[in-house]
Amino acid sequence: MDRTQFFSGQAGRMIEAPRRSRALFAIGDVVRHKRHDFRGVVFDVDPVYANSEEWYEAIPEGQRPDRDQPFYHLLAENEDSSYVAYVSQQNLAIDSADEPIDHPQVSQLFEAFQPGKYRLRRSLTH
């Protein structure tokens, strides 16, 4: 498989990844976690796991996702709080609620909500 490298600021090192990776979700998509009760909006995508070793090792061994799949940065929320989450593709699904995310940083990154999706602010696009 053809591979490339990129620097991950979160991991603090170079990460090797497939040159092509199939992300199921895009920036602005509203998703939900399959096992835990939270939902969020995607604001960044890593082609493979690109966080710290400590973070990965903190996941219970039987629940650790494969590193060689897309991982998503989410502005997430549950009933109690808003936070940033880092979730593997295998643990996410499109959210069917068709309701906006109530996270205080959403308006900094995204414009109007349309059912299931946000549009990235023009000032943040290339």
Check which CATH number belongs to the domain holding 12 and give it: 2.30.30.390
The torsion defined by the Cα of 1, 25, 36 and 100, in degrees rounded to 10, comes to: 170
Alpha-carbon gap, residue 14 to 41, rounded angstroms: 26
| Structure confidence by residue, pLDDT tens digits, 40-54 | 999 999 989 999 899
Lowest model confidence (mean pLDDT) among 17-21, 95-99, 107-111, 115-119? 17-21
- Note the pLDDT of residue 20: 65
Domain count, the chain: 1
Asked whether residue 24 carries a pLDDT value surpassing 70, the answer given is: yes
Alpha-carbon gap, residue 76 to 41, rounded angstroms: 7
Q: Are 85 and 56 in contact (CB under 8 A)?
A: no
Overall residue count recorded for the chain in this entry: 126
Tokens, residue 108: 């900094």
pTM of the model: 0.84
- Note the pLDDT of residue 72: 97
Asked whether residue 97 carries a pLDDT value surpassing 70, the answer given is: yes
Domain of 84 in residue numbering reads as: 3-124
| Alpha-helical regions (H) of 1-126 | 53-58, 106-109
Q: How many helices (H) and strands (E) does the chain have?
A: 2, 9
